[in-house]
Amino acid sequence: MRPEYALVYVPAGPFRMEVFLPKDRMARMAGALLAAGHGARVLDYATPSWLERFSFFTMEEAADVSWYDFWRQRRRADGLSRWLSDIAADIALHRPVTVCYFAETRAELGQVQMVADRLRSLLPEVRQETVSFGEAALGARPQGAAPRPATAAGEGSPACYEPSVYPALFGGGKLHLFPISLEAEAAESPDAPETVLAEIRAVQRAVPLGAFHLDGYLSATTVNEVAAGLLSGGHRCQYSTGCVPGPLSDSVWALARASGCRAVEWLVPSGSQRLLDDHFGARISVSHARRAVRMCRMAGIFSAVRFLYPCAGDDAHTAAETVYFAEKAEPDSVVVAPAAPEGPLRSARHARIRDSLREDLARKGFPVQVEGWQGLLARAAQHDGRERRILGRYGALIENGDWGALSDEIAAFNRMLSHPSPRSSAGWVEAMQCAAAAN
């Protein structure tokens, strides 16, 4: 059946593992369109099979350099042009009335421009729009593709992952690790637990056993309510979440672990109490945050800490305080991210400053830049304690352009989720006791 709307994602390299996660915002917009009586199809071209087609175009040009280096050096003009033309031709086969592109980076906005130009030559009457998130929302708007606000992208609607709507999700195309994107307002809303549970129910209608990443920083109270809801509803899944330290944040993790929580990424902007109070306005104490991370890890949950660095008040002393925080909290991983959006002038200088802090943390023995959802990816694949090894293997396949092997790895991960190891009777007893305590 001819879809009225085609929701399109075209990736841009160099790639990271997250491009192979399902695009929940696209699935949510598809669900909203279907609920309104429109036809919709998600055309997600971030799959090994489509990237293999691009590699085929460029093999003669790449010679013996890695595919990753080849992309970085931009020796790909002819191959990229043919690949994008193929994508435009594939979109045209569906003959949609409206094409809506999704872009998360500035490079993807450039891809949208080229695909939109090619599609216009094939379907002159088609309407083309863009939805930009994250870095792309700060970038230049591609010509020839009309803007569309993020609020129109199905926010608040249940996602649709049916095979007829999101075909790339099946057959080794995408990892069955589903993000549930929660903006700051949604994560702090009293309705956040029901929003998360409704999204999980919607996904499990199409994929009964999958993993989930709650892509937002929830309060411990919200995590507690989500865990209790999963247990009381009989949902069997594994998930990761972001969390901010606060009241109860050191006492909910037995319940969360019993409900399927396998990884938590803690947002602790700085190890300096002065910066937490004066610059970030965070209503947390450093000692409370350290205890929360330790208690989470003691419950058997992968614990990452995200620092925001550098901010305007950072110096050598506050950097040392941040390293000291990690030493005392003992997380499984540390992530050092920008404190605010950075323009091109500051970006290179701040990147060097961040690299210096990462090196200091690495010298202390901490795995660096393993995010919460990546910890879930490793643990769901039964690689506890070997997170960097599994991520390194995925990274090597992407860097070398070995898309066939990557597709096999994705399919193996999805099969493992579909056939989880049986939960022990002791685990069920623990879960029931935790649920009773929560009520």
CATH code of residue 85 = 3.40.50
Q: Look at residue 169 and tell me if it is in a domain.
A: no
Average pLDDT over residues 33-61: 85
Distance, in Å, from the CA atom of 128 to the CA atom of 48, rounded to the nearest integer, reads 26
Could you give the number of structural domains in the chain?
2
Do 276 and 322 fall within a single domain?
A: yes
Do 138 and 243 fall within a single domain?
A: no
Cα angle, residue 14 at apex, residues 9 and 19 outer, rounded to 5° = 40
Do 107 and 214 fall within a single domain?
A: no
Average pLDDT over residues 101-123: 92
Do 124 and 201 fall within a single domain?
A: no
At residue 361, what is the residue type?
Answer: L
Distance, in Å, from the CA atom of 96 to the CA atom of 83, rounded to the nearest integer, reads 20
- Model confidence at 256: pLDDT above 60: yes
Of the candidates 189, 204, 215, the residue with the CA atom closest to the CA atom of residue 158: 204
- Model confidence at 6: pLDDT above 60: yes
End-to-end CA distance of the chain: 48
Do 310 and 276 fall within a single domain?
A: yes
Do 91 and 227 fall within a single domain?
A: no
Do 217 and 330 fall within a single domain?
A: yes
* Domain coverage including residue 108: 5-152
Average predicted confidence (pLDDT) for the chain: 84
Average pLDDT over residues 196-221: 90
Do 138 and 235 fall within a single domain?
A: no
Quote the distance between the C-alpha of residue 121 and its chain's center.
34
Looking at residue 155, its pLDDT comes to 54
Looking at residue 422, its pLDDT comes to 46
Which letter does DSSP use for residue 213 in this model? E
CB atoms within 10 A of CB 242: 23
pLDDT confidence band for 439 (50 / 70 / 90):
very low
Order of strands across the sheet that contains 261-267: 177-181, 211-218, 238-243, 261-267, 302-308, 333-337
Distance, in Å, from the CA atom of 117 to the CA atom of 128, rounded to the nearest integer, reads 10
Looking at residue 438, its pLDDT comes to 44
- Model confidence at 274: pLDDT above 90: yes
Looking at residue 13, its pLDDT comes to 77
pLDDT confidence band for 142 (50 / 70 / 90):
very low
Do 185 and 56 fall within a single domain?
A: no
Looking at residue 59, its pLDDT comes to 47
Q: Look at residue 327 and tell me if it is in a domain.
A: yes
What is the share, in percent, of the chain residues with pLDDT greater than 70? Answer: 84
Q: Look at residue 427 and tell me if it is in a domain.
A: no
Looking at residue 431, its pLDDT comes to 46
- Of residues 427 and 169, which shows the higher confidence score? 169
Q: Look at residue 402 and tell me if it is in a domain.
A: no
Q: Look at residue 168 and tell me if it is in a domain.
A: no
Do 229 and 129 fall within a single domain?
A: no
Looking at residue 149, its pLDDT comes to 37
Do 102 and 211 fall within a single domain?
A: no
Q: Look at residue 41 and tell me if it is in a domain.
A: yes
CATH number at residue 247: 3.80.30.20
- Model confidence at 96: pLDDT above 60: yes
Lowest model confidence (mean pLDDT) among 25-29, 44-48, 59-63, 249-253: 59-63
